[in-house]
Structure 1
Amino acid sequence: MNVRWCIGDKLFVAMAILVLFVTVGYYGATQGYLKNRFEDYFKAKTTELVEIYYKEHNNSWVGIEELKISDELEQRNPDQREIALLSPDGSTLFFRGSGDPESLIRQGKWNTVVVNGTVVGTIYVNSWESSEDRLLKKYILDSMRTSSFRVPVVTGIVALLLGLWLVKKLTQPLNRLIPAIQKMADGKLHNRIPVTTRDEFGKVTEALNHMAQQLLRAEEARKNLTADVAHELRTPLSIIQCQMELMQERGRDIPPEALLPLQDEVIRLSKLVDDLHKLTLAEAGKLQLDRSKADLVPLLDRIIDMLHPEAEERHIDIVRTYPVQSLNAFVDPNRMTQVFYNLLVNAMRHTSSGGRISIRITDTFHHELRYAAVEIADTGVGIAAERLPYLFDRFYRVEESRSRHTGGMGLGLAIAKEFVEAHQGFISVQSEVGRVWCYKMSRQLFWYN
């Protein structure tokens, strides 16, 4: 079913029910209200006639039996309405009708006659309306009843037109989104939908654009993964092949030192395969963590001691800022050691001679639990803002070149991110071109028992 007609049907039914409800309520309220108002008006009108007579005759009921309180129609049909007037002591002052006053008093309607705050009599009737009043009342109520049936017809037409306009207004953004979504489904992920509103449709449009961008990145990553893996494998395999062919051509015994380059390349291949395996396990949520209480300071100090000779040779200062008390975090020491190692090696790689690497551990309280945060910063060359979202992608390198001296294999930061997230934490980076790099592992990464 077409979305427009589906929404239109529901909207029209809802409006029809609303119109019916309003019509019934309007009819019931107006009919009941008018009847009560007519009753009060004719009651006051009839009572006022005898009150005026009492005042005009010097506060006396003398001659009241000759009072004419009926219209011309009632004069021709005197049996239509019965009226009786009683004095305060209960004696009958005036009666007109075909029955007797006692019967009227027992079954009729009544109202007190008050003059200057004093009750001077009680009037009883079987109906407050005269014949002319009854005809007027009937005419007005019939007119209102007719109007009550006209109102829903007019309102229904207006509701239908309004519903069609609203349906068009509501489905117009959807009609604009559907072709773009279809293009995305066909694999045309470069298309972007213009965001023209800030309402829910605008938010949906932004979400679709973001989804398309993420799908495009995932598709590009998938296409580049094979090329990246092939590139990383080709170099060591080529070296091994060339060395072996050279050994075969020489046709003599192979000295042990000639096997060292082959061993280096095999080690490199093994490390690449091992890193890819770990990264795949972490991304799939299947990475095994052997958690225990581990002091973060010794973990970092061991890595710093390993890198200290290179830092001295390149005149790079490593500044450590640790809290006074020991920080026993509930982590997997081996996994976190690799995280710290990858980050520090990356910082060393991008810090020029005479630079500085700062390491800081802080702790805080959040929701009555104590947390730790690790921050690693360097005075390297920095990175452009548009490259930051891709920094933790596998095989991504800031440098366009594939030099392993400056770029590595592009897996270190990806592994660090996955290992951190496996500890229910997250890692972020802040940097600008020409400014420091700063990796910060969230306080949600570590917690204390």
Structure 2
Amino acid sequence: MKIRTKLILSMSILISFILLVLFLVTHVQFYIARDYSYFEKKAIFESLRGEFEQYYTSHDESWEGVEHNKFAYTQHFVEIALVIDGEAIYRKGQLQQEDLREGGFPLVLHANDQKIGRIYVMNESQYKTYEFKSMWYGIFPNILRVSLLFTCIAALVTIFLLSWRLTVPIGKIMKGIDMIKKRTPEVALPVDRKDEFGKISRALQEMNVSLASHEQSRKQLLSDVAHELKTPLMIMQGEMELAQELETSLSSEKISSLLDEVLRLNRLVHDVLDLSRLEAGGAELRPAMENIVAIMEELIEKIQFLAEDKQIRLSAYFSEDVIEVSIEKHRIVQALYNILINAIHYTNNGGQVQIRIERVMKDRQVEHVRIMIEDNGIGIPDEDLPHIFNRFYRADHSRTRPNGGTGLGLAIAQQNILVHQGWIEVRSKAGEGTTFLIFLPFVAGPAMCSPN
């Protein structure tokens, strides 16, 4: 059912309800006015009742001749009807018996604790109320028709305006959604509105920007992967084509070179797959309590030779010998390894890399383990710092790819930390060095899992 139809039905029901309430309230008001007149002059009403009851008892409990009797208090009333067994045996006034019984005030007569009849009366005030009531009921159908006509016209105009204000922005939003489906970068939506339609439009616009960003990231990833694959494949293809043209076998040096390119391709494929699983939330954790200090000591031993080749001094400080955290060991080792290798590569010969592990209060007094890896290398320019965790991004643009890694190390490190409910902070200044701060929850939740 369309919004306009719903509005028409709702307005019709509302109008009918209002008119019904008006009729009922008016009807009840007439009876309230009639009864109020009784309470206002109750003594006169009761005196009239007493006269009729006295007449009945003084005539041997009979109403015979009552129609000819003159009662003193009848002068205060415009209409009077004494009804016995449904028949009016005493009348004063001009109204029909049925009208008086319906609109008059009833007084029940008693004698010797028995009901002997009922009189219906109207004084001047009650009679005027009755006249107004009769007039109102007489003109009410006409008022109802005119009111319905004007109300319906007003309702239709109101409904048209409301439906226009509702359907126009909805139409624009639907058109905008169709444009989003077609992946249009610029979508026309009523974002300037201050109502709910504006909120929906702004949410849709943000979603479209996000989708465009993800689409751009997807295209960039394909481009970067293709570029990374292209270089080793061209090297391998060139060496093999040259050997084929010269009809010579490959030397051991050439075979070793080709093997290096194959290993680089294999590493690239594994890194891309690993990062894709992490970003998609498909990496399911199997955490266990591990001593992060022992893990770091083992890792330093493994990469010590790389630091010695560049005469870089590795120093470590641990606030405690045992700091246990709930982690999946190989993922944390992978993250720390990538960051340490990055620090060694970007530190000049004779430099130093400092490592520190301690417990700190972070994030609203929640205890975390902080792992600090600080170097005095070439640093990262301010314009590059926000992008260092992007896939295939390199702050050192002069560094050639054959001499470097896959360009995914920091992105994988960040995702591995994130799935452990931790995070990484980076501080750097070009020419002075870089500091990576890794935070892990000291006490991990029992239901820790990968983020969606």
Q: What is the RMSD computed on CA atoms of the aligned residues?
A: 4.6
Task: Give the alignment partner of residue 170 of structure 1, picking from 157, 166, 178.
Answer: 166
- After superposition, the C-alpha distances for 1:306-331 in whole angstroms (9 at most, x for unaligned) are 44565577687767564436222222
In structure 2, the partner of 1:416 is: 413
Q: Which amino acid aligns with 1:395?
A: F
Partner amino acid, structure 1, of 2:91:
Q
Distance in structure 2 (CA, Å) of the matches to 1:141 and 1:327: 94
Where does structure 2 lack aligned partners over 5 or more consecutive residues?
Answer: 48-69, 82-87, 94-107, 447-452
Q: Which segment is superposed worse, 278-287 or 428-437?
A: 428-437
| Structure-2 separation of matches of 1:437 and 1:309 | 21
Q: Which amino acid aligns with 1:106?
A: K
Q: Which amino acid aligns with 1:80?
A: R
Q: Does the 8 Å contact 1:49/1:69 carry over to 2?
A: no
Structure-2 change in CA distance of 1:43 and 1:342 (3 Å): same
SS of residue paired to 2:339: helix
Residue-pair matches, total: 397
Q: Secondary structure at the match of 1:106?
A: strand
The CA deviation at 1:290 is 5.0
Please tell me whether the aligned partners of residues 297 and 326 of structure 1 are also in contact (alpha carbons under 8 angstroms): yes
Q: Deviations over 1:387-407 (max 9, x none)?
A: 73x654433445556722787
Q: 1:236 aligns with which of 208, 232, 244?
A: 232
CA 1:103 to 1:35, structure 2 compared with 1: closer, same or farther past 3 Å? farther
Find the counterpart in structure 1 of residue 392 from structure 2: 395
| Alignment-derived partner of residue 80 in structure 1 | 91
Question: Contact 2:361–2:368 at 8 Å: present in 1 too?
Answer: yes
* Other-structure match for 1:57: none
Contact kept? 2:80, 2:121, Cα under 8 Å: no
Pairing partner for 2:198 from 190, 196, 202: 202
Matched AA of 1:187: R
1:126-145 equivalences under 5 Å are 126-130=119-123, 133-134=126-127, 136-140=129-133, 142-143=135-136
Which one of the candidate residues 7, 22, 38 is aligned to 2:3?
7
Structure 1 pair 358–192 and aligned structure 2 pair: CA distance change class (3 A): farther
* Whole-Å separation in 1 of the counterparts to 2:240 and 2:79: 132
- Among candidates 197, 208, 211, match of residue 207 of structure 2: 211
**Residue 30 in structure 1 maps to residue 26 in structure 2:** yes
Q: Give, in angstroms, the shift of residue 337 of structure 1.
A: 0.6
Match of 1:69 among 44, 50, 75: 75
Q: Does 1:182 find its partner at 2:178?
A: yes
Distance in 2, matches of 1:352 and 1:173, equals: 61
Q: Which secondary structure state, in structure 2, belongs to the residue aligned with residue 79 of structure 1?
A: strand
* Residue 105 to residue 251, structure 1, CA distance change in 2 (3 Å): closer
2:105 is aligned to: none
The CA distance in 2 between the partners of 1:377 and 1:103, in whole Å, is 113
Deviation larger for 141-150 or 17-26: 141-150
The equivalent of 2:297 in structure 1 is 301
Distance in 2 separating the partners of 1:196 and 1:393: 34
The residue number in structure 2 matching 1:274 is 270
TM-score after normalising by structure 2: 0.69
Structure-2 separation of matches of 1:74 and 1:333: 104
How much does 1:411 deviate? 1.6
Shift of the 442–179 alpha-carbon distance from structure 1 to 2, 3 Å rule, reads farther
Contact 2:288 2:326 in 1 (8 A): yes
Match of 2:334 in 1: 338
Contact persistence 2:77–2:121 (CA under 8 A): no
Could you say if the C-alpha distance between residues 399 and 68 of structure 1 is closer, same or farther in structure 2, counting changes exceeding 3 Å? same
- Paired amino acid for 1:12: I
Aligned partners of 1:11 and 1:231: how far apart in 2? Answer: 59
Alpha-carbon distance in 1 for matches of 2:186, 2:443 = 40
